[in-house]
């Protein structure tokens, strides 16, 4: 009895000492074992195998304390069953301990998280099914558009059948936000729909004959195999860089790019890909995660790029990575650069926010990411933030701007009362980190509080998830302090229409990934129809896998391993060429000038069951009389308005837009016609191919009589589609092309220089002999400025002098007459 009591006292003393040391020596000592801080947890059967596992949240956090209290109430002093279920009394039989079908190895899965995460985070779990990360309605509509606008402009289909709540008050957000969104719904009813129907099934083995009559049916095979692997209802492709959890843990549990567990629990394999990096939750600045002695908070950008590495590629672009077909530079062993997200990359300039230590969640709000509980069919519809929400304009602080500024979905700038500030965060965010609101929280363009961005006098403080407090001066303050460059002042104030009609990132994006021409091949070869073929072509159906999780038998499955959701067809993709510099411009869904990048620029090749092409390098057309295409429709190759997430302090030059055919949407040029076949071999001077044993080097692409990069001709006639999600998205029209273009500006002066005019010749020779001819861009700009001022003053003096001379002449004449 005495020894037992002494042992308990010693244990308690040691535990207290460890806890005391943790509190005093290290402010965040939470990489220790759970048992070091909760000795009673040793009584849980879970600890028989997992005694070394990391606490799911840091020691001392309110979340962990609540989990431990709830676990104790459920008979598990270790708290494991709160999330995982199972039998905490079993210490020997693993199958019994894991409770069979009642065990959740992936407790954040949307198929079970109402019973796990939803115990405390009810709102976040409730809205997940309407979120764009679950429905992927925009991606589906985009691919269907590329295959002949199968659903037109309507965002009809989603991964799962889902609809809006009947009560508008169930939309998360402020009253002002709800009112604002009601207006947007009226403006864009095809995007802000009330319900989504489930995505149609892909063709099954006995249905492939239908492709001969309607090749566009292959779209559903393409969508299900290639495009939908990232939605939150599946764990997704298990490749380097793509390892993640399901549902909430897609973002809130760290996975390394190699997919290996590197924590202290010996019962979790350390050499088997597909596991979390450590058994911890990452989230706001209050959620601390320790990996190999390094403590961090927030959600790393690489977690987001697990999914955001294709399509618009905003995740990898933010990191300064651009996809490249080249495998160099070579790795340490002399082999190829390792694939990441199944691609190779080129290191590019990183977004300035990334360089300042900000992550995706420091700009994107909870509603941007989790959703607000109502359907929004495309990214632009779901995202509520604008650059001016934090930076303001040269003439107005963010809190002086009206709601809707830069988010108009209209052809005129937003107007109205100043949006002001708020003292109140949204209720569902109060479980996260709380910060000093100072003068008040800033408001987004749609009227919700930025819970991590506050006003402090005439400055802004951004409380980052990583724990930094970044102080920032809005544009108006910088202008008052004369800290904006001359070029910046001219662009933002001298040409006022820029801020009234353009997105900030039209100029401040330093580069944009542009993959021109998406050549999609879907091979439906079946070995019973193609005698010389050894195997039938097939692939994994991610949407079917997600729906399989929805069945009772599979709802608790850890992932999709072993799922037999295999469908006919094998998808492969290639490109025509890639660019990154100075993207073209057009009008986005908000009615503002925006960078454009290739969206679904799809040239489709479909191989039939017998291994022979059904269609070859085929570009589908949209419905009749759409996108300026007339009765035959328009080519379904889309240029997509985009926020590149490659922001830099220094904007692109004026001439990169005003003197660039590419920027105006007129195309890069230099390529030969894509709708012509090109044969390369020995040939005579008149173009006759000499060998008989020759073959085409480049096949023709039907209908494409211009380059992939051209969206409009000189007359303002659109030749491809632009941002088909929204009504206002388009290429520049004829009036805008004429107004924007400054081609020939140099000729306007230099056609007279140096000797075409006597006056110019005289000045030119004087400048030559006195060494004043401009030798640098700065000297050239100064000379132009002097010429403009001289001309202006000359004309002004002339305008003033004429009436003056007339009056003086009249006076003189009268005096002379009188005299």
Beta-bridge partner residues of 519: 574, 603
Over residues 531-566, the pLDDT tens digits come to 899 999 999 999 999 999 999 999 999 999 999 999
Among residues 301, 467, 317, 484, the alpha carbon closest in space to that of 392 is found at 484
Of 94-103, 358-367, 385-394, 796-805, the poorest mean pLDDT is in 796-805
Cβ neighbour number for residue 241 with a 10 Å cutoff: 22
Among residues 14, 91, 110, the alpha carbon closest in space to that of 46 is found at 91
Q: Where are the alpha helices (DSSP H) in 726-776?
A: 734-740, 745-750, 758-770
Beta-bridge partner residues of 598: 639
- Tokens 């995706």 sit at which residue? 360
In this predicted structure, the answer to whether residue 43 has a pLDDT above a threshold of 60 is: yes
Range picked from 4-8, 375-379, 748-752, 800-804 for highest mean pLDDT: 375-379
**What's the pTM value of the predicted model, to 2 decimals?**
0.90
pLDDT at position 806: 76
Q: How far apart are CA 383 and CA 367, in angstroms?
A: 8
- Do the bridges between strand 321-324 and strand 441-443 make them parallel or antiparallel, or are there none, so unpaired? unpaired
pLDDT at position 102: 82
Do 77 and 65 touch, CB atoms closer than 8 A?
A: no
Q: Would you state the structure tokens that stand for residue 421, as one six-digit string?
A: 């500030």
Q: How far apart are CA 500 and CA 661, in angstroms?
A: 23
Q: What is the torsional sign of CA 428, 432, 437, 440?
A: negative
pLDDT at position 771: 72
Q: How far apart are CA 409 and CA 181, in angstroms?
A: 11
Class of residue 528 by CB neighbours under 10 A (exposed 0-12, middle 13-18, buried 19+): exposed
pLDDT bin (cut points 50, 70, 90) of residue 463 is very high
Over residues 249-306, the pLDDT tens digits come to 999 999 999 999 999 999 999 999 999 999 999 999 999 999 999 999 999 999 999 9
pLDDT bin (cut points 50, 70, 90) of residue 764 is low
**Is there a cis peptide before residue 329, judged by omega within 30 degrees of 0?**
yes
pLDDT bin (cut points 50, 70, 90) of residue 13 is very low
Do 142 and 600 touch, CB atoms closer than 8 A?
A: yes
DSSP, collapsed to helix, strand or coil, labels residue 461 as: strand
Instruction: Name residues whose C-beta falls within 8 Å of residue 341's C-beta, 6 or more positions apart in sequence.
Output: 239, 240, 241, 242, 305, 306, 309, 310, 316
Cβ neighbour number for residue 668 with a 10 Å cutoff: 17
Beta-bridge partner residues of 635: 621
pLDDT bin (cut points 50, 70, 90) of residue 19 is very low
Do 602 and 146 touch, CB atoms closer than 8 A?
A: yes
The radius of gyration computed from the CA coordinates of the chain, to the nearest angstrom, equals 32
**Is there a cis peptide before residue 612, judged by omega within 30 degrees of 0?**
no
The backbone region for 316, taken as left when phi is positive above 0, alpha when psi lies in -120 to 50, beta otherwise, is alpha
The DSSP symbol for 535 reads S
Do 114 and 129 touch, CB atoms closer than 8 A?
A: no
DSSP, collapsed to helix, strand or coil, labels residue 543 as: helix
Q: Where are the alpha helices (DSSP H) in 188-239?
A: 210-213, 218-222
């Amino acid at each position: 009895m005495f020894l037992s009591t002494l042992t308990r006292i010693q244990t308690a003393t040691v535990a207290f000492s460890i806890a005391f040391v943790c509190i005093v020596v290290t402010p965040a000592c939470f990489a220790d074992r759970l048992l070091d801080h909760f000795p009673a947890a040793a009584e849980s059967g879970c600890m028989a195998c997992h005694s070394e596992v990391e606490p799911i949240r840091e020691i001392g956090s309110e979340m962990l304390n609540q989990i431990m209290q709830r676990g104790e109430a459920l008979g598990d002093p270790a708290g494991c069953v709160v999330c995982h279920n199972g039998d905490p009394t079993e210490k020997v039989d693993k199958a019994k301990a894991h409770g069979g079908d009642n065990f959740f190895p992936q407790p954040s899965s949307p198929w079970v998280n109402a019973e796990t995460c939803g115990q405390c985070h009810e709102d976040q779990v409730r809205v997940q099914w309407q979120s764009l990360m679950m429905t992927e309605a925009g991606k589906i509509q985009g691919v269907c558009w590329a295959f002949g606008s199968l659903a037109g402009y309507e965002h009809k289909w989603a991964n799962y059948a889902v609809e809006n709540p009947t009560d508008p008050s169930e939309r998360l957000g402020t009253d002002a936000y709800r009112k604002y969104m009601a207006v947007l719904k009226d403006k864009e009813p095809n995007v802000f729909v009330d319900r989504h129907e489930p995505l149609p099934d892909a063709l099954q083995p006995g249905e492939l004959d239908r492709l001969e009559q309607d090749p566009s049916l292959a779209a559903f095979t393409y969508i299900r195999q290639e495009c939908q692997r990232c939605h939150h209802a599946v764990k997704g492709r298990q490749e380097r860089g793509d390892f993640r959890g399901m549902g909430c843990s897609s973002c809130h549990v760290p996975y390394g790019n190699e997919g290996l567990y590197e924590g202290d629990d010996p019962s979790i394999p350390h050499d088997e890909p597909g596991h979390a990096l450590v058994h911890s939750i990452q989230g706001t600045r209050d959620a601390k995660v320790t990996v190999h002695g390094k403590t961090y908070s927030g959600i790393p950008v690489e977690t987001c790029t697990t999914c955001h590495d294709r399509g618009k590629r905003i995740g990898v672009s933010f990191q300064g990575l651009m996809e490249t077909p080249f495998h160099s530079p070579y790795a340490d062993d002399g082999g190829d650069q390792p694939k990441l997200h199944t691609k190779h990359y080129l290191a590019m300039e990183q977004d300035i926010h990334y360089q300042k230590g900000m992550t995706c969640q420091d700009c994107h709000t909870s509603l941007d990411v989790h959703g607000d509980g109502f359907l929004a069919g495309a990214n632009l519809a779901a995202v509520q933030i604008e650059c001016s929400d934090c930076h303001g304009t040269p003439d107005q602080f963010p809190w002086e701007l009206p709601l809707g500024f830069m988010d108009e979905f209209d052809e005129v700038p937003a107007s109205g009362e100043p949006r002001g500030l708020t003292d109140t965060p949204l209720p569902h965010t109060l479980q996260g980190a709380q910060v000093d609101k100072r003068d008040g929280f800033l408001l987004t363009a749609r009227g919700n509080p930025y819970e991590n961005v506050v006003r402090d006098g005439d400055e802004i403080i951004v409380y980052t998830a990583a724990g930094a407090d970044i102080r920032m001066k809005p544009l108006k303050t910088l202008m008052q302090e004369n800290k904006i460059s001359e070029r910046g002042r001219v662009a933002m104030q001298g040409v006022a229409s820029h801020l009234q009609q353009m997105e900030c990132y039209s100029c401040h994006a330093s580069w944009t990934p542009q993959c021109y021409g998406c050549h999609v091949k879907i091979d439906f070869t079946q070995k019973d129809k193609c005698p010389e073929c050894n195997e039938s072509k097939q692939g994994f159906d991610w949407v079917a896998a997600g729906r399989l999780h929805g069945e009772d038998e599979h709802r608790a499955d850890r992932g999709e391993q072993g799922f037999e959701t295999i469908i006919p067809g094998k998808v492969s993709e290639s490109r025509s060429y890639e660019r990154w510099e100075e993207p073209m411009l057009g009008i986005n869904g908000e009615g503002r000038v925006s960078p454009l990048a290739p969206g679904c620029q799809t040239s489709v090749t479909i191989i039939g069951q017998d291994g022979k092409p059904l269609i070859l390098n085929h570009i589908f057309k949209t419905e009749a009389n759409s996108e300026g295409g007339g009765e035959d429709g328009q080519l379904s190759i889309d240029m997509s308005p985009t926020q590149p997430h490659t922001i830099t302090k220094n904007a692109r030059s004026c001439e990169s837009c005003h003197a660039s055919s590419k920027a105006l949407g007129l195309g890069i040029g230099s390529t030969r016609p894509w709708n012509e076949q090109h044969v390369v071999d020995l040939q005579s001077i008149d173009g006759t191919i000499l060998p008989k044993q020759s073959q085409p080097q480049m096949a023709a692409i039907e209908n494409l009589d211009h380059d992939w990069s051209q969206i409009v001709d000189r007359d303002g006639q659109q030749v491809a589609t632009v941002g088909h999600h929204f009504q206002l998205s388009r290429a520049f029209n004829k009036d805008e092309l004429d107004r924007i273009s400054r081609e020939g500006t140099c000729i306007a002066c230099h056609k007279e220089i140096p000797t075409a005019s006597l006056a110019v010749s005289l000045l030119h020779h004087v400048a030559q002999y006195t060494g004043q001819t401009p030798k640098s861009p700065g000297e050239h700009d100064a000379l132009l400025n002097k010429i403009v001022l001289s001309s202006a003053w000359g004309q002004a003096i002339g305008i003033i002098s004429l009436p003056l001379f007339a009056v003086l002449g009249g006076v003189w004449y009268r005096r002379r007459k009188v005299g």
